[in-house]
Structure 1
Amino acid sequence: MFSFFKKKPPAPEPAPAEATPAPAAAEPPEPAGRNWLRNPFGGSKPEAAPDPPPAEVAAEVAAEPAARTGWVDRLKLGLRKTGSSITTVFTGTRIDEALYEQLEEALLMADAGVKATTVLLDDLRRRVKEARATEPAAVRGLLVDAIADMLRPLQKPLVIGEHKPTVVMVAGVNGAGKTTSIGKLTRHLAAHQASVLLAAADTFRAAAREQLAVWADRNYVETISQQGGDPAAVAFDAVNAGRARGKDVVLVDTAGRLPTQLHLMEELKKIRRTLVKADTAGTGVPHEVLLVIDGNTGQNALMQVKAFDDAIGLTGLIVTKLDGTAKGGVLAAIAQERPVPVYFIGVGEKLEDLETFDAREFAQALLG
């Protein structure tokens, strides 16, 4: 099973004074390129099988791409609106200036942005020259490589478990799918034996608290909330409660707002400052600050990333609703102008429609 996040194991608990601690067993090395997650958060399972030897680990890793086949198929289907205008450029028979002009127009229409489009086309021309390509079909493959290389800086796993609790603050405008994304993350964290506490710091909208409560009930997790209370106070209480109750993760939902609503952006800054004050151990709370953006909004999503990053210092993105847009090229614009890591992308409403971001998978699906 492909994990949604990468986890650093917690330090082992000290043995009682009268007992002689047994030497720690060596763990198998983490395979390159894989989000290694085996019995996270130190939880023990009854009659758990021992970790496989390296040969079995290699076999398990080799089988992993097959497990993501269904996801890649859904991603291709979801990106069809974005990719169709780009792929039609390669139906001709010649590699000439007209092809590059059509490709430039298609990338701009996909909201890749002027800067990213210029960089991609310059890189593509170099690749075509070096490969001595003569057919448009070959140029298509080289463009996949160019897009994958451009997006690779955005590919980074979300680390959970380095601190206890790991505090994750989640922001986003109304309608981007913020609370739903929090629910999906909660489901996967809980499925991997992580104890989760939800903080309903969106106190302005009763529906947000109710929606978060539904996800909490589905996943059997606790929620800290106050009707009409101060959002920063709810976040502060949640961190203290998470620490006192030994929770692994505290997810803080915040009120949806537009970057132009300066008074509400100030409220976000206040929540972040309050979380820092709750960090009595000095571990760097909040450990993650995520922004959920709607892929349908194209270049406006880039503006949101810049505004929220300037205000609260983003550490990662969740890009939703890529299945309903022709503007999926905005990830290229983000990579060039504000390369905040993309932890997850979504192409639907189902639980399995939110997955970790992989640059090459995305590039291949885009032009698939």
Structure 2
Amino acid sequence: MSEPKEKSKGGLFGRLFKGGSPAAAPAADEPQTAVAAVVEAEAPAGEQPVPAKAEPAKQSWFQRLKSGLGKTSSKLTTGISDLFSKRKLDAGTIDDLEDLLIQSDLGLETTNRITAAIGKGRFEKGISADEVREVLATEVERVLVPVAKPLVIEPSHKPHVIMMVGVNGTGKTTTIGKLATKFKAEGKSVLLAAGDTFRAAAIDQLKVWGERTACPVVARDVGGDSAGLAFDALKQAQASGADVLLLDTAGRLQNKQVLMEELEKVTRVLKKLDPSAPHDVLLVLDATTGQNALQQVEIFRDRAGVTGLVMTKLDGTARGGILVAIAAKFGLPVHAIGVGESADDLQPFSAQDFARAIAGT
């Protein structure tokens, strides 16, 4: 099957951040092969002009997504091929397929939808592995379409406050840097706040992103009061007329109660300056954690008021199916997913692209 075409002309930013002014990007199925040009510079007599080195072909986003989900897709497609290349569809085959889908972290609800769709009217008949993958892609897309929503920056909020939450190691600080890069590319003014005051590395990392993106950073010494920092950051953002405030937070889950009380305090302090803040609370999830991600969503949703999700590290795991299980269980908006380290590797979440990539179609 050919790659899904990019519907939006907004390229990198159009689907993720409404109201931006993005540069157009090539559609996912447009050829992007670099062509080597011959340098026609003057050369000494008798010598041939030296060809310029060809730039490596740049992959489309769908190609990167498909590559990033390769481990998950390979596990599913190999299992499906093994199941349906030599057997008729019967109760035993359906049971084995169910086991495969559950082991791939797709969740019981989605698994039941897929097996019901495959078994409907087909028992004791032949069905190819390709047909099964098509059903898989269709049912996964149905689950994901309702949660694939862009992150909307409201111009009426000055600033639009985005509080990032999640356990340590999920990529919160890096995600903040990537979001700052995209917002700046749209011409928005951005202020960063190093609210994870318990980790020197997190503070230093955010300062580095501030330098890279030319965004001011509000920071304090290690061990400082995170709620006080959030208050000062919002006050500075309001005074400077910043469009967006990106607020990092601590992610210690060793003591859930202390962490959640701290996040609640940060929220209360923000509301003293702006009763509508924070305008978004984004939970950053690490795809490699698998089933543990479900527990994280439940805890942060109930205590921190999570409004949307960002999933990272989909390129390093065979457990990408957990995003489907999360979508089916919680129905929270999924704004973006990450399949690598560069800023361009954090992209808007597309239900169709993800479903096709995970099913290998």
Paired residue for 2:188, among 187, 194, 208? Answer: 194
- Residue by residue over 1:223-264, the C-alpha shift from the partner in whole angstroms, topping out at 9 and shown as x without a partner, is 111213210111111111111101000000001222752112
5 Å-filtered alignment, 1:88-103, equals: 88-91=78-81, 92-93=85-86, 94-103=88-97
Q: What is residue 79 of structure 1 aligned with on the other side?
A: 69
Report if the CA contact (8 A) 2:113-2:139 is conserved.
no
For the residues of structure 2 that align with 1:70 and 1:259, how far apart are their CA atoms? 40
Structure 1's 361 and 285: CA in aligned 2 closer, same or farther, altered over 3 A? same
TM-score scaled by length of structure 2? 0.81
Q: What is residue 131 of structure 2 aligned with on the other side?
A: 138
Structure 1's 320 and 311: CA in aligned 2 closer, same or farther, altered over 3 A? same
Paired residue for 2:164, among 156, 165, 170? Answer: 170
Q: Secondary structure at the match of 1:237?
A: helix
Report if the CA contact (8 A) 1:259-1:265 is conserved.
no
Q: What is residue 119 of structure 1 aligned with on the other side?
A: 113
Paired residue for 1:147, among 111, 125, 140? Answer: 140
2:175 is the alignment partner of 1:181: yes
5 Å-filtered alignment, 1:22-37, equals: 37=20
Q: Secondary structure at the match of 1:167?
A: strand
Structure 1's 97 and 285: CA in aligned 2 closer, same or farther, altered over 3 A? same
For the residues of structure 1 that align with 2:340 and 2:272, how far apart are their CA atoms? 37
1:114: how far off? 2.5
For the residues of structure 2 that align with 1:109 and 1:304, how far apart are their CA atoms? 19
Aligned letter for 1:159? V
5 Å-filtered alignment, 1:346-365, equals: 346-365=338-357
Paired residue for 2:334, among 323, 332, 342? Answer: 342
Paired residue for 1:5, among 16, 22, 33? Answer: 16
Q: What is residue 204 of structure 1 aligned with on the other side?
A: 198
For the residues of structure 1 that align with 2:254 and 2:311, how far apart are their CA atoms? 17
Report if the CA contact (8 A) 2:198-2:250 is conserved.
yes
Q: Secondary structure at the match of 2:228?
A: helix
- Residue by residue over 1:298-320, the C-alpha shift from the partner in whole angstroms, topping out at 9 and shown as x without a partner, is 11011100100000111111101
1:336: how far off? 1.7
Aligned letter for 1:111? D
For the residues of structure 2 that align with 1:39 and 1:332, how far apart are their CA atoms? 29
For the residues of structure 2 that align with 1:111 and 1:260, how far apart are their CA atoms? 27
For the residues of structure 1 that align with 2:333 and 2:166, how far apart are their CA atoms? 16
Q: What is residue 244 of structure 1 aligned with on the other side?
A: 239
1:7: how far off? 2.6
For the residues of structure 1 that align with 2:18 and 2:163, how far apart are their CA atoms? 18
Q: What is residue 70 of structure 1 aligned with on the other side?
A: 60
Structure 2: give runs of 5+ residues left out of the alignment. Answer: 1-10, 31-57
Aligned letter for 2:238? R
For the residues of structure 2 that align with 1:255 and 1:88, how far apart are their CA atoms? 40
Structure 1's 149 and 39: CA in aligned 2 closer, same or farther, altered over 3 A? closer
2:226 is the alignment partner of 1:231: yes
What is the aligned-residue RMSD (CA, Å)?
A: 2.3
Q: How many residues align?
A: 315
1:89: how far off? 3.6
1:88: how far off? 2.1
Aligned letter for 1:38? S
Structure 1's 2 and 351: CA in aligned 2 closer, same or farther, altered over 3 A? closer
1:101: how far off? 2.2
For the residues of structure 1 that align with 2:22 and 2:343, how far apart are their CA atoms? 21
Q: What is residue 154 of structure 2 aligned with on the other side?
A: 161
5 Å-filtered alignment, 1:270-309, equals: 270-279=265-274, 282=275, 284-309=276-301
Q: What is residue 255 of structure 1 aligned with on the other side?
A: 250
Larger CA deviation: 116-125 vs 286-295: 116-125
- Residue by residue over 1:142-173, the C-alpha shift from the partner in whole angstroms, topping out at 9 and shown as x without a partner, is 22111100111220000013322100000111
Structure 1: give runs of 5+ residues left out of the alignment. Answer: 9-36, 41-59
